[in-house]
Amino acid sequence: MNLDELKSAWNTEKTDDVHIPSRMEQLRKANHPLDKLKRNMRNEWYMQLLALVALGVVPFFSGLHTSTYMVYYAAYAMSLIVSVYYLSVFRRFYQQVNHYTADTKDNLTEIYYQFRLNIERYHSFGFLLIPLVLVWGGASVYSKLLQNGQDFSTLTPTLKYSLLILAVGITALMVLAMPAWTRFYYGKYTKQLKQVLDELKEE
């Protein structure tokens, strides 16, 4: 077979059977939600850092009586220890995610489940802040009473029960708000990652 015949055979060969795997396209689809998750994590870290600083100066701007400072800062110190640990873990996880590449199914699977684990850590961290919020609320009520020349012993049973119900309500609200926030802030993009993983499993 001469050169002309080879060219003719090459040109007449069908190329319809050439198939570019969809796996690469599906993995490429994961980059968009992954970038959004990274951006939200970065913003969240700075917001939480600012919130911790703000909580440290709350007594000076919320009208708390100086006699409540010791109780408030004892609760704040315990919350701060937990917060520093959580934020360091959160930061380390963010740095790890920045080095992940969604170029293989295994990498994408690891990223997805690491995000799920971090969301559960986030919930636990939020729940641990509930005592600080309750102490802040109690200190605020006590400060108002002191301004009126009263204390908790002067409250009527009805008011005491009302304060107890309010504390339970605040606790319940925070317990419900934490998962709602993570669904709003992260849920959409983690679902998109899960959809890509499900598509890859079907192949």
Is the predicted pLDDT of residue 160 greater than 70, yes or no?
A: yes
161-182: buried (b, 16+ CB within 10 Å) or exposed (e) per residue? Answer: eeeeeebeeeeeeeeeebeeeb
| Over residues 18-29, mean pLDDT | 53
The whole model's pTM is what?
Answer: 0.75
pLDDT score of 47: 92
pLDDT, one tens digit per residue, over 110-143 is: 888 888 888 998 898 889 889 999 999 999 999 9
Is the predicted pLDDT of residue 171 greater than 70, yes or no?
A: yes
pLDDT score of 20: 39
| CA angle in degrees (0–180, nearest 5) for 108-35-27 | 35
12: buried, middle or exposed (CB in 10 Å: 19+, 13-18, 0-12)?
A: exposed
DSSP string, 52-85: HHHHHTHHHHTT--GGGHHHHHHHHHHHHHHHHH
Is the predicted pLDDT of residue 48 greater than 80, yes or no?
A: yes
In the chain the first and final C-alpha atoms are separated, in Å, by 42
In contact, 87 and 45? CB cutoff 8 Å: yes
User: Which residue has better confidence, 50 or 3?
Assistant: 50
